[in-house]
Homo-oligomer: A and B are copies of this chain.
Amino acid sequence: MAEGQALVKEIVPQSEDFSAWYVSVIRKADLMDYSPVRGCIVFKPDGYELWEACQAGLDRRFKETGHRNAYFPTLIPESFFQREKEHVEGFAPELPLVTEVGSEKLEERLALRPTSETIIGHMYAKWIQSYRDLPVLINQWANVFRWEKRTLPFLRTTEFLWQEGHTAHATEEEAREETMRMLEIYRDFVEADLAIPVVKGQKTPSERFAGAVDTYSIEAMMKDGKAVQAGTSHYLGTKFAEGFGIQFLDRDNQLKYVHTTSWGASTRLIGCIIMVHGDDRGLALPPRVAPTQVILIPIGPAKVREEVVGRSRELLQALRAAGLRARMDDRDEFSPGWKFSEYEMRGVPLRLELGPRDLAQGVVVAVRRDTGEKQALPQDGLVERVQTLLDEIQASMFQKALAFREAHSHRAATLADLGRVLEEKGGFVLAGWCGDDACERRVKEETKATARNIPFDPPERMERCLVCGREARHTVWFARAY
């Protein structure tokens, strides 16, 4: 679709202006377009397929751990948001409201869901009566709406796509186990499938989900050193159970409130893939989620063309028969050089070139997107070699992102330290924190960095609060964030 036109535009170098690089890449790779409604984007096929890959990877893991999908209404009576005090404060200002249908006014205004704890809490109160009805383990794939002031494609949009899990349990212990299980599923998916290393930890109280007792997150570092919260898991205690009356008769014949959790990951993940792996040549997609894993390009003058294309087609069929997502580009109207840049820009992990000389030698030339490395692979046993190579690329992309994060992780003993490190080097900064809201607020005001999370497994325990110098209760990762 108007590809020729789009390709004329050059990609802005990352080092020059990271934001401009990001926007130029997502436009050039045809992942999205802006819509006429402020902050709402169109997910074009190349962008949406990344979301389909995320859906497949997460959905499989949810189902393996006993969760089932369901679907709840988008429209939620406005009054429902009043039932949990902190929840309404967090979400009311961004709620789009349906007030009319056709030309008739509605009796009660209906909010477009920003998240579904309220409507799901209302339903669970009807469904749960006894300990025998527990646990309830449900996930929903849905669109949600938050009228954000500043938007950025994939990372913060007025409407976005996500999954939200909502579970109910008989005991706090079981609900807390579920909260951790789902956080671990997000870590596993993001690290294994997206090749993005993350830090697991707990959010500080001021960064908690509105209405949660405890919020946990995985945080990923983008190539400009900024953080993205890539998934969250909340232990909600009995707050929503009390707000919506979700009670059950326990084995001991006592009526009790259930303990609930919720957890979510969204189309922000697409933004993470781009900002973690992309470079000045464009996207670089991890093989496990790349819609096209292998692009085959036959090369050569017209007189050998038929033979080269014929052999390429055979190899293509072998690759596809093995379940690889391979495609061939044998179009005449574009030069091989043009195609090389095109598929590099689109982030295809592996390019296979086949020319007359390769044909004679029984090889294909394989070029890795991540390293640019070239190697001749024998056509015999090609499928196995390609599979191994894709695994290597996946592992090496993770290692590269991990090394980048390590290289951009620092420590700060004081607020001045933190400010200096962020200005000079950026990245994640480890510091002690006394646990006081005021100190956390100072950090934000003076450095624009926020507490990303309190990691479960920090590289070092910091002893003093970076602001007030008192004894640190927590060791925290601070960073500027999307």
A33–B159 Cα gap in the complex (Å)?
A: 26
Query: Is the Cβ of A42 less than 8 Å from the Cβ of B95?
Result: no
A161 contact set on B, CB distance < 8 A: 71
Q: Quick check: is A8 within 8 A (CB to CB) of the other chain?
A: no
Q: Quick check: is A45 within 8 A (CB to CB) of the other chain?
A: yes
Q: How many copies does the complex hold?
A: 2
Q: Quick check: is A302 within 8 A (CB to CB) of the other chain?
A: no
Q: Quick check: is A138 within 8 A (CB to CB) of the other chain?
A: yes
Q: Quick check: is A76 within 8 A (CB to CB) of the other chain?
A: yes
Q: Quick check: is A10 within 8 A (CB to CB) of the other chain?
A: no
Classify the interface of chain A: helix, strand, loop or mixed: mixed
Min CB–CB distance A64 → chain B (angstroms) = 13
Query: Is the Cβ of B2 less than 8 Å from the Cβ of A42?
Result: no
Contact of A36 among B98, B100, B103, B122 (CB under 8 A): B122
Query: Is the Cβ of A69 less than 8 Å from the Cβ of B49?
Result: yes
Residue of B nearest to A43 (CB): B71
Q: Quick check: is A151 within 8 A (CB to CB) of the other chain?
A: no
Q: Quick check: is A283 within 8 A (CB to CB) of the other chain?
A: no
Query: Is the Cβ of B35 less than 8 Å from the Cβ of A123?
Result: yes
A97 contact set on B, CB distance < 8 A: 98-101
Query: Is the Cβ of A92 less than 8 Å from the Cβ of B102?
Result: yes
A348–B256 Cα gap in the complex (Å)?
A: 35
A43 contact set on B, CB distance < 8 A: 70-72
Contact of A136 among B1, B71, B94, B158 (CB under 8 A): B1
Q: Quick check: is A119 within 8 A (CB to CB) of the other chain?
A: yes
Q: Of residues 101 to 121 in A, which have CB atoms within 8 Å of B's CB atoms?
A: 101-103, 109-110, 112, 119
Query: Is the Cβ of A128 less than 8 Å from the Cβ of B1?
Result: yes
Q: Quick check: is A143 within 8 A (CB to CB) of the other chain?
A: yes
Q: Quick check: is A301 within 8 A (CB to CB) of the other chain?
A: no
Residue of B nearest to A68 (CB): B45
A109 contact set on B, CB distance < 8 A: 100
Contact of A37 among B2, B76, B99 (CB under 8 A): B76
Residue of B nearest to A93 (CB): B102
A36 contact set on B, CB distance < 8 A: 77, 80, 119, 122
A37–B101 Cα gap in the complex (Å)?
A: 13
Query: Is the Cβ of A42 less than 8 Å from the Cβ of B72?
Result: yes
A96 contact set on B, CB distance < 8 A: 75, 98, 100-101, 110
Query: Is the Cβ of B98 less than 8 Å from the Cβ of A102?
Result: no
Q: Quick check: is A127 within 8 A (CB to CB) of the other chain?
A: yes
A72 contact set on B, CB distance < 8 A: 35, 42-43
Most chain B CB neighbours (cut-off 10 Å) among A5, A68, A130 = A68
Contact of A95 among B101, B128, B145 (CB under 8 A): B101
A45–B110 Cα gap in the complex (Å)?
A: 25
A112 contact set on B, CB distance < 8 A: 74, 98, 112
Min CB–CB distance A78 → chain B (angstroms) = 10
Residue of B nearest to A333 (CB): B132
A97–B45 Cα gap in the complex (Å)?
A: 28
Give 1 or 0 for each of A31-55: 1 = CB within 8 Å of chain B CB. 0010111001111110111011000
Q: Quick check: is A323 within 8 A (CB to CB) of the other chain?
A: no
Query: Is the Cβ of B77 less than 8 Å from the Cβ of A129?
Result: no
Query: Is the Cβ of B69 less than 8 Å from the Cβ of A102?
Result: no
Task: Contacts A35-B73, A48-B69, A75-B159 known; list 11 others, CB within 8 Å.
Answer: A42-B72, A42-B123, A48-B70, A71-B161, A74-B145, A96-B98, A97-B101, A98-B98, A99-B100, A112-B112, A143-B143
**Which 5 residue pairs of A and B lie closest in terms of their CB atoms, listed nearest first?**
A45-B68, A40-B73, A43-B71, A93-B102, A1-B127
Q: List 23 A-B contacts (CB under 8 A).
A: A2-B128, A35-B72, A35-B73, A35-B123, A36-B119, A37-B76, A40-B73, A40-B75, A43-B72, A48-B70, A49-B68, A51-B71, A74-B74, A74-B143, A74-B159, A75-B96, A75-B159, A93-B102, A94-B101, A97-B98, A98-B98, A98-B112, A99-B99
